[in-house]
Amino acid sequence: MGQAGTSLWLSLEQGSPLVLLSTHKTLLDGILLPFVLLSQGLGVLCVAWDSRVCSPALRALLRKLGGLFLPSEANLSLDSSEGLLARAVVQVVIEQLLVSGQPLLIFLEEPPGTLGPQLSALGQAWLGFVVRAVQVGIIPDTLLVPVAVTYDVVPDAPCEIYHASAPLGLWTGALAVLRSLCSHLGCSRQICSRVHLAQPFSLQEYTISARSCWGSRQTLEQLLQPIVLGQCTAVPDTEKEQGWTPIIGPLLALKEEDQLLVRRLSHHVLSASVASSAVMSTAIMATLLLFKHQKGVFLSQLLGEFSWLTEEILLRGFDVGFSGQLRSLLQHTLSLLRAHVALLRIRQGDLLVVPRPGPGLAHLARLSAELLPVFLSEAVGACAVRGLLVGRVPPQGPWELQGIELLSQNELYRQILLLMHLLPQELLLLQPCQSSYCYCQEVLDRLIQCGLLVAEETPGSRAACDTGRQRMSRKLLWKPSGDFTDSDSDDFEEAEGWYFRVSEQLRCPDFFLSLCRLLSPLLKAFTQAAAFLCQGQLPDTESGYTKQLFQLLQATAQKEGIFECVDPKLAIRAIWTFRDLGVLQQIPRPAGPRLHLSSTFASQDNQEKLEQFFRQFICS
């Protein structure tokens, strides 16, 4: 556990209560994590459960074992006496728990299989109770511990338990735990799970620092719609307001300022958890097979590529969840993926690995998404470069033509800002106080470090390696004032005069395309959703239109043989993005809200502009 483990031991000795905030990969996390953390000397954890994931029998058992469940009355309106009483009772329970010093485990992500936002509304509600307890002085402070749990294969339980509509039963859960324990003891094929505790931090200190860097915010419609329609070219350097996670009763009872604090805190913790997650061998293998070898590859060739990609992951500060002799490791990884790949032995003793089409490729796409946080900055940068080159260089032309074009730093910043506004916050997971300029510079630095961009001198400008860059590096400091509009706009102006070319190294074309493809499933879903506006049946409910769009993604995948986009979560993200962008409008109706096509995008011309806006970032 390293420094995080040392901090936890100091906290336990000093009596500071611990609140562990975890990612959520399987419904069994709430059962398995307490056993793992108990073995590390953290004591018996109290788990805040989601009642939707448990059957009544399992809920009754977990309550007797000390599990917490939010009563349904707590979600009643603010003026309801039953709601007030339920929320007050839960608040007292949380306060007593923290005073006693017993660690509390909260899941910040929605249960697996939930077609909704990544951040859990219930998890934010539980976190709100903790924040309230510190604010009123019940406890002076609490230590928040980001927790990341990863599996190379989800514990061997029936598939239906990973859907929100199928609660985890008592016997099903017990059987799955026994199977997992048996696999760890070597009784069956070994499945690896890793639990990482990130650096703990003080809730009080975070609250003080976070409030000092709040700036103005704008909706996605205000930020991007004029640019999509060609009404302006300047990209606003302002934080995006995104409210995909619903605010339920307990959080609504807090002041609006405290609601914002809890939402930002959730993003901060989830970002730390994802950054500390281990990358498993199955994710690396899935990425190589999906992006480079859909037609098949020999195991001997995979050895070198797997080793190279592992080194790239470690160089970026991420951990890996495996060790051992490389050939044995790859053979074990392929055995875990045997339902999704075909293995053919040849005479020379080598092994031919061929991904299975259809559902097999869709599964590999979901596994490969675990590498996106590792290469996210480079992926955003590669798509930004692609957006600049489109229209300048023939898409099917030789790679050498890419290096002819000179790209200014201002142009690159603009494209990065467009993607920064467009992509969901739960995907980017930016730190709440990180300025746009810092993020743009970070992306550009990553592209230079990995060799995709080369600095180019132009007449009248300093070399990129000149000592004048020292003055520029001072601009990379965080802005404690949080003034996204004034201070950072000056920084963008000072970036003029810097130019870059795409590198002509032999490995660059493949690496560039691979980075672009990490974001292509979501961007392609956006593009297909834009093309679907003239075909879809509107008005419709959100769930109904999501089903329509998902059927289109499935049909397109069958036609093109590319299954990366066959994911209902991509469909719902596209619809929510279109709603925020002002393409779709949600209008209340007596039978429930329904989605309508906005008058702005009713014209075919504007629909084509929308589609082209997304398409510029996609590499074919």
User: How does pLDDT run across 318-327, given as a tens digit for each residue?
Assistant: 999 999 999 9
Strand partners, 21: 106, 146
What is the C-alpha separation between 98 and 77, in angstroms, rounded?
27
Whether 349 maps to a domain, the answer reads: yes
3-state secondary structure of 22: strand
Tell me, yes or no, whether 325 and 301 share the same domain: yes
CATH of the domain at 546: 1.10.10
Alpha helix (H) residue ranges in 317-462:
326-336, 359-368, 372-389, 409-422, 425-428, 436-449
Q: Which residue has the tokens 């400091």?
A: 477
Provide the pairing of β-strand 351-355 with 341-345.
Answer: antiparallel
Q: Are residues 197 and 302 in the same domain?
A: no
Whole-angstrom Cα distance, residue 100 to residue 94?
10
Exposure class string for 285-321: b at 16+ Cβ within 10 A, else e: bbbbbbbbbbeebebeebeebbeebbebbeebebebb
Query: Is residue 322 in a domain?
Result: yes
pLDDT at 29: 87
CATH classification of the domain holding 219: 3.40.1130
Percentage with pLDDT > 90 across the chain: 53
pLDDT of residue 159: 44
Domain end (from 369, 400, 417): 369
Q: Specify which residues 217 forms β-bridges with.
A: 239
Angle between helices 29-39 and 170-184 (to 10 degrees): 40
Same domain, 81 and 208: yes
One domain for residues 228 and 283? no
The pLDDT, as a whole number, for residue 394 is 65
Same domain as 133, residue 112: yes
- Asked if residue 476 is part of any domain, the answer here is no
Residue at 16 is within a domain: yes
Whether residue 104 contacts residue 46, with contact meaning beta carbons closer than 8 Å, is answered with yes
Same domain, 292 and 256: no
Q: Which residue bears the tokens 């675990």?
A: 370
Q: What span, in angstroms and rounded, lies between the C-alpha atoms of 186 and 332?
A: 14
Range 140-155 average pLDDT: 90
For residues 67 and 9, the answer to whether their CB atoms sit within 8 Å is no
Tens digits of residue pLDDT in 82-111: 999 999 999 999 999 999 999 999 999 988
Are 261 and 283 in a shared domain?
no
Give the domain range for residue 560: 520-616
pLDDT above 90 for 6: no
Within a domain: 419? no
Q: Give the Å distances, CA to CA, from 345 to 83, 164, 299, 354.
A: 64, 40, 10, 11
531 token code pair: 């093309």
Domain finish residue from 316, 346, 369:
369
Check residue 458 and give its pLDDT: 62
Residues 145 and 181 in one domain: yes
Instruction: Kindly state whether residues 44 and 86 are assigned to the same domain.
Output: yes
In the block, which residue shows the tokens 């398409």? 615
The answer to whether position 503 is within a domain reads no
Specify if 612 maps to a domain: yes
* In a shared domain, residues 291 and 348: yes
What one-character-per-residue DSSP string does 225-255 give? HHHHTTS--PPP-SEEP---S---HHHHTS-
pTM of the model: 0.88
Q: What is the pLDDT of residue 345?
A: 87
Q: Write down how long the chain is.
A: 620
The secondary structure of 260-278, three-state, reads HHHHHHHHHHHHHHHHHCE
pLDDT at residue 41 is higher than 70: yes
Mean local confidence (pLDDT), 405-427: 92
d(CA 475, CA 469): 10
What's the number of domains the chain is made of? 3
105 lies in the same domain as 223: yes
Which one of 317, 339, 369 terminates a domain?
Answer: 369
273 assigned to some structural domain: no
Output the average pLDDT for the chain.
84
Query: Could you give the CA distance from residue 433 to residue 79 in angstroms, rounded to a whole number?
Result: 35
**335 — pLDDT class (breaks 50, 70, 90):** very high
- Is it the case that residue 62 has pLDDT exceeding 60? yes
Exposed, middle or buried: residue 592 (CB in 10 Å: 0-12, 13-18, 19+)?
Answer: exposed
For 186, residues 6+ apart whose C-beta sits below 8 A from its C-beta are: none
CA distances from 452 to 190, 384, 440, 458, 496 (A): 39, 12, 16, 19, 20
What is the per-residue pLDDT across 169-208, written as a single tens digit (0 to 9) for each? Answer: 666 666 656 655 555 444 445 678 889 999 999 999 999 8
> 278 versus 38: which is more confidently predicted?
278
Question: Quick check: 322 and 192 in contact, CB under 8 A?
Answer: yes
Measured CA distances, 183 to 158, 180, 191, 607 (Å): 16, 5, 6, 52
CA dist 580 and 225 (Å) reads: 10
- For residues 260 and 324, membership in a common domain is answered with no
Q: Is it the case that residue 493 has pLDDT exceeding 60? A: no
